[in-house]
Every structure is written in structure tokens, then in C-alpha cells.
Structure 1
Amino acid sequence: MSEAVATAEQIHGHDDHPAHLQHHFVTSDQQFEASKMGMWLFLITEILLFSGMFVAYTVYRVWHPEVFQGVSSLLDWRLGGLNTIVLLASSFTVAMSIHFAQKNNQKGLVINLVITLLCACIFLVVKYFEYTGKFSHGIFPGIAYHPHGDYAVYDIPYAGQFFSIYYIMTGIHGFHVLVGIGVFIWITIRAIKGDFTSAYYTPVELTGLYWHLVDIIWIFLFPLLYLI
């Protein structure tokens, strides 16, 4: 039996073995580093996913700059700006939740997780009204793009391509927000039960890393789609 295996067996045999420590890890620090590495690898795949969409946006914008500049005015920058503020606020509160977890402040942890969760819900509610407003005027992606009424003047060639990119990029981003809501609900319930302490708050920090990426992606989407 190797020394490493013997050490691991000795540690796991102790009565003070932490409940959160999985059997294949020797220490909590080792488990945390492995978990963090796994999250970073996942985030890299997410960056690659959105990078492909940003490349598609760039190519189509170079091909049809006047179309993209014209129909982008159909997007309400005020709603986009509101969602930007909401996500920036949520990025701050999730950072504070990690801080309070490190300080063993259960009340501060739960409050900031709840605020983050509410901000995520507000983001999707604003997106819902933004989408339905466009749908009511015939602003759909691709060949389904047929604006009517006061928006009929925007029925120009290649405009559907812009909204295909818009709906795909914001839709996939919105799906990530929805996933984040589910995770935050789970994390908040565990925080209320007192599962997290200064010795163990890995799920809170990993969720924070994921949420920061969601925020950063929107920081790029907002100016590219709404302002430029």
C-alpha cells in the first residue's frame, strides 16, 4: 500500500471527517481546487460557444453594415440598459455572498443570494416584455421576419439575419440566466439550512464564477446589439 493511499485512509477514518468531503479527496482544499478547476474548464467551453456567435455577428455585420445599423434601432436600449444595471448589481451581490460565506455570516449570505436571485428573475421578466413587444410587430428571426404597421419600413433585405443573430445570442444567454436561477434557488435553500461555513462554501464560489461569466457576456452583448 502506497504512502498516499495509507494517508488518505487514515484521514477518512477519523471521526472528524467533514461531511462535505467526498471520499476520493484527501483534504477540503484538494476538493475545492479540483472543483474550481472543473468549473473553469466548463466556463472555457461556454466562452468558446459564445465566441462562435460573436464571430458570426462580426461576419454578418461586415457584410451588411448598413442593415445592422438600421434595424438595430428597433432594439430598446433603455430595456437593455436596465438589464445591464440589474446584472451588474447581481454580480456585486453574488460577490458579497461569497464574502459573507467566508466570514460565517449566514444572514448576509442568504440576503445577498436572495437579492441575486431576484435580479436574475427581473432580467428575464424584462427580456420577456422585450421579446413579446417585438413579436407583436412581426419582428421574428430569419424568413419569419415581416414587420408590419409603423415598423413596415424596416422590412428590408438581410434584416432577418440580424434578428436571427439577436434572438440566438440573447436567447442562449437568457437560458444561462434561467439555469443560474435554478442553481441559486438550490444554493439559497442550502444556505438557509446552514450548510455553508467559512470552512466550506465551494458551491457558493463556483456558482459565483458561473454568474460572473453570464454577466460578462451580457456586457459584450449589450453594446454590440443595442448601441453600435
Structure 2
Amino acid sequence: MAGVPEAATGHAEAHAHHPPYLQHHFVSAEQQFDAAKLGMWLFLVTEILLFSGMFVAYAVYRVWHPEVFQAASKLLDWRLGGLNTIVLLTSSFTVALAVHYAQLGDKKRLVQNLWLTIALAGVFMVVKYFEYSEKFHHHIFPGGNYAYEGLQLPYVGQFFSIYFVMTGIHGLHVLVGMGVLTWVALKAQRGVFSSEYYTPVEISALYWHLVDIIWIFLFPLLYLIH
């Protein structure tokens, strides 16, 4: 075109072939995906560091007062904890299926598995609600507020402080995951994702797998130390 610099023409042509999901500061979809995945892994490292501090606190108090931890853990219902473990493991499978179907461009199964994962997360939170309610009913509170007459031992309140902090923060992560997966599911229903673009699906799945893995450690440490 006369009067139009060659560089400007090349830029216009590149922009015309620019996919709508590709941010302007990335050269290609592959580069954008790699950057997003790296960012998520860095975020997950900070999450691991957060829980690592709590695991260290757990280890120290358990070494100091092993008999208290063994006695206090008997007040936790391992059946409910086991049920929630099965629920989260199943949700990891369904979210992995969601990524698989996103890669295949199967919108229907992608959406189905995303909503199934969210539903399983909801089941986890309902079970945790009943578990917490039962503890509060018996005045099993953290720290100095512990007032359960069925088990009166020094430092038992510290065990339940660790229990409520670790499971509470984990539960908060489950709620955040439900929110993120709901956002992804709604976008999937609108047909935003395809076999060429499914980055948010895989990134949110990575986060959800971490939430599940953390629970895999919490369950035996808190419920199965008799």
C-alpha cells in the first residue's frame, strides 16, 4: 500500500492474525501458556511455604506432647475425615478430566467435569461444617477456650489450635478454588476455551491439585495418630 511503511503493514497483518485470547505482550500462545504456568507454580510454592510453617509447628508440639496429641486425635471423627479424603481425590480426578477434555476441545464434557469438581468441593465443605458443628457443640475450641470435660489434659488446647488453623486455612483454600473453578466453568459454557486455548482450565486445575495434596497430609497427621 502506497504511503504505508513496510513495518506498519507487517504489524497490521500480524495483528489481524492475532488470536483474541493472546495478550498483546506475548509473541505466541505457547509463550503465554508457559508464562501463566510458571506464574502459577511460583504461587503454589508460596502456598507450600505457608503450610510448611504450620506443619513445623505441628511437628514441634507433637514431639513435645505426643501423649496429648494421641488422646486429642481420638476426638476427631476419622470416618468424616476419610470421607472428605475420598471426595477430594475424586475431585482431583474430575478436574484432570476437565483439562483432558479441554485439550480435546470437548466443551460438553469439559463443563460437566468442572461443575462436578465444584459439587465435590461443596460436599467437602458440608462435611467439614458438620464436623466443626459437632466440635463446637461439645465445647471443643482452640487454645484457652477449650472446655470439653471428656478430655482434660495440659496442652490439649494447643492440639485443637493447630487442628482448627490448619483445616480452617485449608477450607478457605477450598472456597477460593470453588470460586475460581466456577469462573472457569462459566467461561467454558460460553465457549471461550478450545483445544488451542485452555490455559485457565489447566492453571486452576494445578491449584486444585495442591489443595487436594495438602489434605492428603492433613488427614493422617490429624486423624490417624492414635
TM-score (norm 1): 0.93
Contact 1:11 1:26 in 2 (8 A): no
Q: 1:18 to 1:210 in 2, by over 3 A?
A: same
- Aligned residue in 2 for 1:35: 36
Residue 218 of structure 2 is aligned to residue 217 of structure 1: no
- Aligned residue in 1 for 2:3: none
Q: Distance in 1 between matches of 2:150 and 2:185?
A: 48
User: Deviation at 1:156?
Assistant: 1.4
Q: 1:87 to 1:11 in 2, by over 3 A?
A: farther
Residue 165 of structure 2 is aligned to residue 165 of structure 1: no
Q: How does 1:52-201 map to 2 (within 5 A)?
A: 52-147=53-148, 152-201=149-198
- Aligned residue in 2 for 1:3: none
Unaligned runs of at least 5 residues, structure 1: 1-5
How many positions carry a matched residue from both structures?
A: 218
User: Deviation at 1:155?
Assistant: 1.9
Q: Distance in 1 between matches of 2:12 and 2:117?
A: 37
Give 3-state SS (helix, strand or coil) of 1:220's partner: helix
Q: Distance in 2 between matches of 1:16 and 1:31?
A: 16
Q: 1:136 to 1:91 in 2, by over 3 A?
A: same
Q: Distance in 2 between matches of 1:40 and 1:207?
A: 11
Give 3-state SS (helix, strand or coil) of 1:41's partner: helix
Contact 1:12 1:26 in 2 (8 A): no
CA RMSD of aligned residues (A): 1.4
Contact 1:11 1:17 in 2 (8 A): no
Q: Distance in 2 between matches of 1:171 and 1:26?
A: 42
Q: Distance in 2 between matches of 1:108 and 1:90?
A: 15
Give 3-state SS (helix, strand or coil) of 1:140's partner: coil
Q: Distance in 2 between matches of 1:27 and 1:210?
A: 24
Name the aligned partner's letter for residue 64 of structure 2.
W
User: Deviation at 1:93?
Assistant: 0.3
Unaligned runs of at least 5 residues, structure 2: 1-6
1:106-139: CA deviation from partner (whole Å, max 9, x where unpaired): 1110010010000001100100000011001000
TM-score (norm 2): 0.94
Q: Distance in 1 between matches of 2:83 and 2:134?
A: 16
Name the aligned partner's letter for residue 66 of structure 2.
P
User: Deviation at 1:16?
Assistant: 2.2
Q: Distance in 2 between matches of 1:104 and 1:13?
A: 25
Q: Percent identity?
A: 67
Name the aligned partner's letter for residue 211 of structure 1.
W
Runs of 4+ in 1 over 2 A off after TM superposition: 9-14
Give 3-state SS (helix, strand or coil) of 2:176's partner: helix
